Amino acid sequence: MPAFLPVLGVETSCDETAVAIYDGDRGLLAHLLHSQAAMHAEYGGVVPELAARDHVARIHALVAETLRRGGLGRGDIGAVAYTAGPGLIGALLVGGAFAAGFAAATGARLLPVHHLEGHLLAPMLEEKRPEFPFVALLVSGGHTLLARVEGVGRYAILGQTLDDAAGEAFDKTAKALGLPYPGGPQLAKLAAGGRTGRFRFARPMTDRPGLDFSFSGLKTAVLTALPADADAQTRADIAHAFEEAVTETLAIKCLRACDETGLRRLVVAGGVGANRRLRERLDTAARRNGIELFFPRAEFCTDNGAMIAYAGWARLASALPAEAGIVARARWPLHELTPP
Ligand code: KG4
Ligand code: ZN
């Protein structure tokens, strides 16, 4: 298949049904997303079975509408890329089964995509694109890691979280502060009204060498600091101190990763990359240290179909092998993508 035929991307790894079409010549032609956040909010977190069922209910109409907006028919799609993992197994299987059906019906190629590869390559959807190699900080609800990205499909993990992911820490802390799910963006909003100086939390693992992270202690520190009868200002002050601790920790490790690798390009990806305070900090740090910084726009930091369509296209364009059939892996270490 020539790489210039449009690629349909399907993302169903968690609580977003997302679809997009990427074309090598014309770029992103259309992208749509349905968030299940409101449905899961009642339970305080994602309910896997409900997520899978809702993907089933949404996927057909979402793909039809994305094709319509892109001005394409089903027969114009050259390949269908879908998130094969890591993620919720039932949710993944919906996207995989849909993609396999679409491919069988249209003759399009079927491309399983690693969710984290999608996040890592998301900045390529922007006008200002990083050149390889670069350091990438991937901070999402399920993962927190620093990687050296040599090219499409070539990733070396430099460090990762030993316990909670940064987004998970945001979500759990938000819950402790009485905020509704999904907590990360809500906590960031609360933190904006918080004052500096009243609370201070440690910057975990920054006082020793290495590029790993640990965020579970921070959540415990918040719980210990939080009075049972905390008023609104106290909650905001704690949210502020928590956000400062997480973002400063991430910024310190990013600079360290750039110094240790000698690379001067830094990409930030994943849901927590949408955090404004993190962006501000990294902007300042990058300017001071001669580092070029790349962010996908906020809607391509959180889960989306565009990054999966792009990653599928990039794999085709690089003639990387794709597995046949429906692949769905709840757990899938990123380093397994790197050819031996
Ligand atoms: O990448 P993503 O959409 O899904 C995963 O693959 O995990 O990331 C979702 C995570 C959630 O933990 C959410 O709370 C967090 O990203 N998040 C934020 C913000 N926006 C999303 N955390 C802090 N500040 C934000 N503005
Ligand atoms: Zn994600």
CB-ligand 1 contact for 188 (6 Å cutoff): yes
Between CA 84 and CA 104 the distance in angstroms is 17
pTM: 0.93
Given a cut of 60, whether residue 185 has pLDDT beyond it is yes
Averaged over 206-219, what is the pLDDT?
94
Averaged over 83-102, what is the pLDDT?
97
Residue nearest to atom 1 of ligand 1 (CA): 271
Given a cut of 80, whether residue 322 has pLDDT beyond it is no
Q: What are the sequence ranges of the domains in the chain?
A: 7-121+300-336, 131-295
Predicted confidence (pLDDT) per residue in 20-71, tens digit? 999 999 999 999 999 999 999 899 889 999 999 999 999 999 999 999 999 9
CB-ligand 1 contact for 118 (6 Å cutoff): no
As residues whose CB is below 5 A from the ion ligand 2, the structure lists: 140, 303
Q: Is 335 exposed, middle or buried (0-12, 13-18, 19+ CB in 10 A)?
A: exposed
CB-ligand 1 contact for 270 (6 Å cutoff): yes
Which residues, 6+ apart, have CB-to-CB distance to 11 below 8 Å? 17, 18, 19, 82, 83, 95, 115, 118, 303, 304, 305, 307, 308
Report residue 340's pLDDT band, with 50, 70 and 90 as the boundaries.
Answer: low
* Ligand lying closest to the C-alpha of residue 271: 1
Instruction: Supply the pLDDT for residue 326.
Output: 81
Q: Which CATH architecture has domain 7-121+300-336?
A: 2-Layer Sandwich (3.30)
Given a cut of 50, whether residue 1 has pLDDT beyond it is no
Given a cut of 70, whether residue 3 has pLDDT beyond it is no
CATH class of the domain defined by 131-295? alpha beta
Do the domains 7-121+300-336 and 131-295 sit in the same CATH topology, yes or no?
Answer: yes
